Amino acid sequence: MNHMSSIIIHPAEIKDLETIRHIGKLTFSETFAENNSEDAMKKYLEESFSTEKMLSELNNPDSYFFIAWEENDPVGYLKVNAGKAQTEMQDETSLEIERIYVKKSHHGKKVGQILYNQALETARSLKKSYLWLGVWEQNERALNFYRKNGFTEFDKHIFVLGDDEQTDLMMKKILD
């Protein structure tokens, strides 16, 4: 018998703000805490997941949030951006996957794949011609995941967390 309950994806709305804040902070720190100073991490989380910032992101008509639920437990989330909401490029034909985060407890349970499929579906329904994203060059897990899903690297960018410069690989996938 397989007791794994199924994962359901729901679009997030304003009422889900606290859920996204909570799961956003949790999954971000699980992913990056060991590679960054506690202070840098704390500052980043406070700024990136402040109520004001989350509210304006949720209110942006070009950003789409989805939460993965296992019964009443939020286990991951997706944020995609179109048009001017994209962090760069801002090509009308592209959709950016800004975040796919899954709780550590649910790694390896296909939650990331389900969220990614939602991003793909969103891109298709918005008639976009490609998906793109940036991945930290040392995040092997994520790099392998996107390569497996047909993404290829096309550029690299530097981003700063605290006093630390880190490199993001830019990847894209052309949709047929």
Q: Which residues are catalytic?
A: 146
pLDDT digits (tens, 9 = 90+) for 81-122: 999 999 987 799 999 999 999 999 999 899 999 999 999 999
How many Å apart are CA 120 and CA 131, to the nearest integer?
8
In the chain, DSSP assigns E strands to 7-11, 63-70, 73-82, 94-102, 130-136, 152-161, 164-174
Looking at domain 7-132, its CATH architecture is 3-Layer(aba) Sandwich (3.40)
Give this prediction's pTM: 0.90
Enumerate the β-bridge partners of residue 166.
159
Domain boundaries defined on the chain: 7-132
